[in-house]
A and B are shown apart, each in its own frame.
Chain A
Amino acid sequence: MQKISRRDFGKKAAATAVALAVPSALLAQTPAATEPDPVVTDAECDDVQKKLSKPLSDDAHKILKADLVSQKKDTAARLKVSLPEQSEPCFIFVATPKRDDDKDRGQVS
């Protein structure tokens, strides 16, 4: 089985704990191993840090940087997966009609 990154493991096992093999189609679409990792700048890490109440520990900071790299890899990988142009997200906003007992309100008699 391929070596998986901690972040990749996390996706498969964290919430989850099911270690999973990446589908071959995805492997084909994932940037090749020789491609350099996306760059995450200190400023990008600082953006996260600014949202937090306390400074991250050095260890956490290192992992954060790796996680942000992983996110960028995800973005790069997903951009190579073609979805139908008209496809919609798998949730729908349903407009809710007025309740029956509201129907007379606002009407001018």
Chain B
Amino acid sequence: MIDCYSGISDLSKALRKKEISSAELTQMYIKRLSTLGKEYNAVAEMTEGTAYEQAALADHRMDETKNPLNGIPYGAKDLYATSGIPTRWGSPGHEDQVFDHDATAIAKVREAGGVLIAKLAMVELAGGGNYDVANASISGPGHCAWDKNLWAGGSSTGSGCATALGAVGFSLGSETSGSIICPSAFNGATGIRPTYGRVSRYGCMALSWTLDKLGPICRSAEDCGFVLDAMAGYDEKDPSSIREKLNLRRKGGKMRIGILKEAFEKNKAVECEKAYHNALDVFRKLGHETVDVAYPDLPYDMAVGIIVDAEGASAHEHFVRSDRLDKLVDVNQVAGMAAALQRPAVDYLWAMRMRTEALKANAIWDKCDCVFTPVFYHKSVPIEGSFTKSFENMGGASGPENLLGWPACAFPIGFEEGAPLGANILAPCMREDVCYRMAMDFQKNTDFHTKRPVPA
């Protein structure tokens, strides 16, 4: 018996057996998203009109295609261009923005049979101006699926929340440096940040051309695999897209899991430490080994910050110079976008040279096949108040993963005061299969990803 929390595999089987039609499934998720999803500020724009057309087409071709996404309703972060449907990038300054084309990823998921039921809420301009409050979005503050007093994370806010609420079959997010991993962790969802270039960025809002990645947020690693299969691939419209074929189900032996020096005690992360060690035990029981590793000491974060400033300022320069800048909700965003115009070119070029140096961190893969580390040391932060204060003690890894385009899979490993704790597996570039396999192994042997938040 399927329900709104069912995995893609089960939903697909039910569709094929004609136990339910895509139109009915679409109706179920639209109802849930337009009520519960809106209540949690997870929705940017419902797309009922085109959704039912796509569902009808999916039902029509059900016997012709084997793609597991055929007929499955989904939502996309509101920075994916969708022809004829508003794409506001979470920004009141882009309220009237409608593109006449689809992002490549949207076109690929549609080709696979996915049914777009909504554009999902996000932090305005993916937070490029340095937001400091949960309210930094045209959609309002995104509530965590597990506790409305907590934030859903960002910047793929609605993608994380709506997925965890069972209000979409799956969702698409994006990440410059944390925006898939964070909302996945805060909402107890599973998200894959693919290798840089694995998914075409064409048609998606640029915050940083050299850091932006697109990927799925789902309720399991298995679901992420189905969605990433559809999204990935070379695209001549994106010069950074890669030609190497994605093979998530590549066979492999036992893994050497790299363990970083974590700061649980310093950050009073008692629950996270327990959950993390329990998760390691699960991996060890499956035969995987652990090995201590460390990244070269380099200012990775500062390089990321400078790159985002400079590339974001360039990508959004016309907007920043326009009379719409002050429409942004968060005054920190207004000031931050303006300040970024002053970022010196020599700073940016230094950051890109630092990035060359950071490639030395790839030496870690001589010692291990993947790294396992908490996304944060605590559950999500309060939805009210300044993040500057609330993110103290959240900790987390401070590595080269985004700078070097490494893939990751974030998934739930436990709870703290009733809200999810997430960890992620990082792997070398092009090795999403390692992230996928490890997360699959973990989820076959635990049930954290099957837990449902209260509204369910």
Closest Cβ of chain A: how far from B122's Cβ, in Å? 11
What are 26 inter-chain pairs, A to B, with CB distance below 8 A? A10-B336, A11-B302, A12-B305, A14-B129, A14-B308, A15-B126, A16-B155, A17-B127, A17-B154, A17-B178, A17-B179, A18-B177, A19-B396, A23-B299, A25-B297, A26-B298, A56-B326, A57-B331, A67-B335, A67-B339, A71-B342, A74-B305, A75-B346, A77-B302, A78-B354, A83-B357
- A12 in complex: contacting residue of B153, B298, B301, CB < 8 Å: B301
Measured between alpha carbons, how far is A11 from B388 in the docked complex, in Å?
11
B293 at the interface (CB under 8 A from A): no
Report B106-138 CB contacts with A as 1/0, cut-off 8 Å.
000000000000000000001111111000000
Contacts of A22 in B (CB 8 A): 299, 301, 398
B338 at the interface (CB under 8 A from A): yes
Report A78-97 CB contacts with B as 1/0, cut-off 8 Å.
10010110011111000000
A contact patch SS: helix
Report B47-79 CB contacts with A as 1/0, cut-off 8 Å.
000000000000000000000000000000000
Using a CB–CB distance below 8 Å, which chain B residues touch chain A? Answer: 126-132, 153-155, 175-179, 181-183, 207-208, 210-211, 263, 266-267, 295, 297-302, 304-306, 308-309, 312, 320-323, 325-326, 331-332, 334-336, 338-339, 341-344, 346-347, 349-357, 359, 375-376, 386-388, 391-398, 402
Measured between alpha carbons, how far is A26 from B344 in the docked complex, in Å?
20
Interchain CB contact under 8 A, A11 and B130: yes
Measured between alpha carbons, how far is A5 from B386 in the docked complex, in Å?
11
Contacts of A25 in B (CB 8 A): 297-299
Closest Cβ of chain B: how far from A40's Cβ, in Å? 10
Interchain CB contact under 8 A, A17 and B339: no
Interchain CB contact under 8 A, B178 and A13: yes
A/B pair count, beta carbons within 8 Å: 227
- Known pairs A11-B308, A18-B182; list 13 more (Cβ under 8 Å): A4-B388, A6-B130, A15-B177, A15-B178, A25-B299, A52-B321, A60-B338, A74-B305, A74-B347, A75-B344, A75-B347, A78-B302, A81-B354
Contacts of B346 in A (CB 8 A): 75
Interchain CB contact under 8 A, A78 and B350: yes
Interchain CB contact under 8 A, B338 and A56: yes
Which residues of chain A in 35-80 are interfacial with respect to chain B, using CB atoms and an 8 Å cutoff? 44, 47-48, 51-54, 56-57, 59-64, 66-68, 71, 74-75, 77-78
Interchain CB contact under 8 A, B334 and A56: yes
Contacts of B126 in A (CB 8 A): 15
Interchain CB contact under 8 A, B376 and A19: yes
Size category of the binding interface on chain A: 35 or more
Contacts of A8 in B (CB 8 A): 305
Interchain CB contact under 8 A, A87 and B353: yes
- B130 in complex: contacting residue of A7, A23, A60, CB < 8 Å: A7
Measured between alpha carbons, how far is A8 from B339 in the docked complex, in Å?
14
Contacts of A12 in B (CB 8 A): 178, 301, 305
Measured between alpha carbons, how far is A6 from B298 in the docked complex, in Å?
22
A1 at the interface (CB under 8 A from B): yes
- A20 in complex: contacting residue of B128, B308, B325, B397, CB < 8 Å: B397
A24 at the interface (CB under 8 A from B): yes
Interchain CB contact under 8 A, B132 and A6: yes
Contacts of B354 in A (CB 8 A): 78, 81, 83
Contacts of A60 in B (CB 8 A): 326, 331, 334-335, 338
Measured between alpha carbons, how far is A86 from B183 in the docked complex, in Å?
40
Q: Closest 3 A-B residue pairs measured CB to CB?
A: A10-B130, A11-B305, A25-B297
Which residue on A lies nearest to B211, using beta carbons?
A15
Contacts of A67 in B (CB 8 A): 130, 335-336, 339
Which residue on A lies nearest to B332, using beta carbons?
A63
A3 at the interface (CB under 8 A from B): yes
* Known A13-B391, A23-B298: A90·B325 in contact at CB below 8 Å: no
Closest Cβ of chain A: how far from B113's Cβ, in Å? 31
Interchain CB contact under 8 A, B323 and A53: yes
Interchain CB contact under 8 A, B391 and A19: yes
Which residue on A lies nearest to B157, using beta carbons?
A17
Interchain CB contact under 8 A, B301 and A53: no
Interchain CB contact under 8 A, A14 and B131: yes
Contacts of B334 in A (CB 8 A): 56-57, 60, 63
Interchain CB contact under 8 A, B297 and A87: no
Measured between alpha carbons, how far is A4 from B393 in the docked complex, in Å?
10
- A52 in complex: contacting residue of B263, B297, B309, B320, CB < 8 Å: B320
